[in-house]
Structure 1
Amino acid sequence: MAVGLVGGISLTGWLVWGGRGKPVAAEEVQPPFPPPPGSRFFGAPVGAVPPAAAKHDGISNLEESPELAEFTPEERVHIWVYELCNRSVVHITTKSIREGALLLFAVEIPAEGEGSGVVLDRNGHILTNCHVVEDAQEIQVTLFNGKSYAGRLVGQDRVTDVAVLRIEAPPEELFPVMFGDSNRLRVGQRVYAIGNPFGFERTLTTGIISSLNRTLPSRSQARTIKNVIQIDAAINPGNSGGPLLDT
């Protein structure tokens, strides 16, 4: 489940920011097969998220899935995390116009960008980083099934680098991410990131939590972002806005 939004990098590892607080109920998303025995699934997308986080109950005692019997216990956990959460991750592409100069003349230069995001609900709300969609004239959101929809910016906070989009997609195509409680995180804990680095959609990387409660200057330098989670998972351009997940 998601515990923060992937947002930035430091010299010692990638930094993500997550909400703090107790989980609250959310729309239930059924995994394609039962989790490995003994799994506990708390999780949430990485980036600044509201204090409330959703949890998924009643899965830790399910029997082992036959589909995963040939894999090691560690591999089963990796596979289950991906299969449970990847449908909640979207690929965001943008088009914008930037001002430039050609000789002595000011010109407008078309620019394209991309990043990741997570489905918040079946009403089409998408959570991502503000810098992914900032100043975009056109936003396209591609779901797990390859279908793309025009995205509309409904809110953003440049200080904490968070934005919410909305798409007009059928509810049956939307799989809301399950949010966890970042208060449960521990240094050394295994975490996962799913995103679209360099445009390679639905890429899974894994690592550990290197440190907790870091602080990070906001992009506007107007304030400090607190409760930043430092991780060592491989993160590249295109991962921004995607979820950080735990088990």
Structure 2
Amino acid sequence: MRIENKTMNTTSRSLARLVACSLALGLLQPALADVTSASDTATAEDFAFAKRLSRVFKTVAERREKSVVHITQLRTIQPTDFFGRPVGRGQLQQAGLGSGVIVSSDGVIVTNNHVVRGADKLRVKLSDEREFDAVVLGTDEATDIAVLKVDVGKESLPAADFADSDQLEVGEWVVAIGSPFGLDNSVTQGIISAKGRTVTPRETGVSFEDYIQTDAAINPGNSGGPLLNLEGQIVGINTAIASRTGGYDGIGFCVPGNTVKNVLESIQRTGRVARGYLGIEMSEQSSSGGGVLVKTVVDGSPADEAGLKSGDVITRFQGSSLSLDRLRNAIAAAPAGSKVNIEVSREGETKTLQATLGDLSAAKGYVFIDALGVEVELLPDDIARQVDAKAIVRVASIQETGRAAMSGLRAGDIIVSVDGDGYADIAELQKNISKGNFSRGLRLDIIRPLQGGNSYRRGNIVVQE
């Protein structure tokens, strides 16, 4: 303590001498005035720079405001009497608000899955106040992305294009446009705060490992709107916020534009998201060299055919060095059938291998039934013995906006028969479904596992248009 006081006293005395000398020479006051003038007063150059930066944000807003839409979710509310029995006809009421961005001039729109989930009807309002009913082309729960379409005839709508979101760097300026709290076409700006965030948003309840973090203001209603670079290109879709209040706290999360583009293209091509499959078990490389360690390779998998071996260290995937989580996402995001370059380190040598990715669903034994919007799988033997039925197929996953989901079918349901007809295999099940009359109603007899999965309940569901 004495040393600290001594140092402080010595410094104070030195400063006092300097001030005294400066006052004596009449130099201190003018010098302070000059410093104040130089540091506190903006120059013409400063104003010019600020105006140029402002002009950039203004240009982005003007260029892309017409590409951003306001989405209203409507649900049918059924009136009931005192005893909870339905009375009268149900009425459509507003159940949620969100944003979206036009990505194709013929009316294709990208938004969040949680914006459209559970909707009986969707209304899209353009920047010129015109409204259209929207149909859902497809959804992807894993990334929380949905693709919609509005019918505008031969009109060409102003569409936004995608940038390569992998090239984004922390600190870059970005602009968010959307409808927070229902306020159409609100524009905010910020920077990229981080990349590769793993978050489980309350909006979805599904963990995603590659969010872009931004401090551009995102509030309820912004969901589904675009995050743009200063060229006005889409680098992400605004999805979630971290907040103690439910409003803006400076931390927002966006699905990367490259992921969104892959989901969009897959849905447009097949109506669903076909995720890539490589066929390896991976772990983080423990050595200081970095990379991802290949622990095992599945026989006959795309990785096996490409020449990957247990013990290889993946250093680059499609030219980029990635962490374990980001590599896993990159493989899944790449379309099935696409060719990818994989750089590996093997016994001190660097090798570049090329693999043709498979379909993850097919690798798991799933079969997609388009008429229902479900993926099904063969029932495991142990469960087949428990239910003691001739059913051999259960629902593995379900499109939330498909016919089956809208009729009440769930993942895990076991399909016993279709309109009373049994089946011997998945191919016959598909044939029976294809013969059904959805306008009249297709009856599925099902067995549903109850909580805990140790008991089951039988029933039926009528699937309609």
Please give the TM-score of this superposition, normalised by the length of structure 1: 0.64
Alignment of 1:50-65 (within 5 A): none
2:64 aligns with 85
Would you say 1:129 and 2:117 are equivalent positions? no
What residue is the counterpart of 1:112 in the other structure? 95
CA 1:233–1:99 in 2, change beyond 3 Å: closer, same or farther? farther
Q: What displacement does 1:127 show?
A: 0.4
**Residues 132 and 151 in structure 2, CA contact (< 8 A), matched pair in contact too:** yes
Q: Quick check: 1:98–1:111 contact (8 Å CA) kept in 2?
A: no
Cα 1:130/1:100, change in 2 over 3 Å? farther
Per the alignment, in what secondary structure is the counterpart of residue 160 of structure 1?
A: coil
SS class of match (1:194): strand
Which whole-Å CA distance do the structure 1 matches of 2:189 and 2:154 have between them?
30
Which residue matches 2:226?
243
Whole-Å separation in 1 of the counterparts to 2:157 and 2:138 = 20
Q: Secondary structure at the match of 1:123?
A: coil
Q: Is the contact made by 2:72 and 2:94 (CA closer than 8 Å) also made in structure 1?
A: no
Question: How far did residue 201 of structure 1 move?
Answer: 0.7
Match of 1:163 in 2: 146
What is the root-mean-square deviation of aligned Cα atoms in Å? 2.6
* Structure 1: distance between partners of 2:215 and 2:83: 45
| 8 Å CA contact retained: 1:211, 1:230 | yes
CA 125–205 in structure 1, closer or farther in 2 if over 3 Å, else same: same
Supply the AA of the counterpart residue of 1:129: N
Aligned to 1:151, what secondary structure does the other structure show? strand
Higher relative contact order, structure no. (Cα contacts within 8 Å, ≥ 6 residues apart):
1
Do structure 1's residue 75 and structure 2's residue 59 form an aligned pair? no
Query: 1:187 and 1:100 mapped to 2: Cα distance?
Result: 51
Question: Which of 159, 175, 180 is residue 176 of structure 1 equivalent to?
Answer: 159
State the partner residue of 2:215. 232
Choose 1 or 2 for highest CA Rg.
Answer: 2
Identity over aligned pairs, percent? 40
**Distance in 1, Cα, partners of 2:224 & 2:218:** 11
The unaligned stretches of length 5 or more in structure 1 are: 1-68
Work out whether residues 111 and 147 of structure 2, in 8 Å CA contact, stay in contact via their aligned partners in 1: yes
Pick the structure with more helix per residue: 2
Could you give the per-residue CA deviations for residues 54-96 of structure 1, whole angstroms, max 9, x where no partner exists? xxxxxxxxxxxxxxx9x81111111011011111101111111
Distance 2:190 2:81 in 1: 45
Task: Identify the residue that residue 10 of structure 1 maps to in structure 2.
Answer: none
| Match of residue 136 from structure 2 | 153
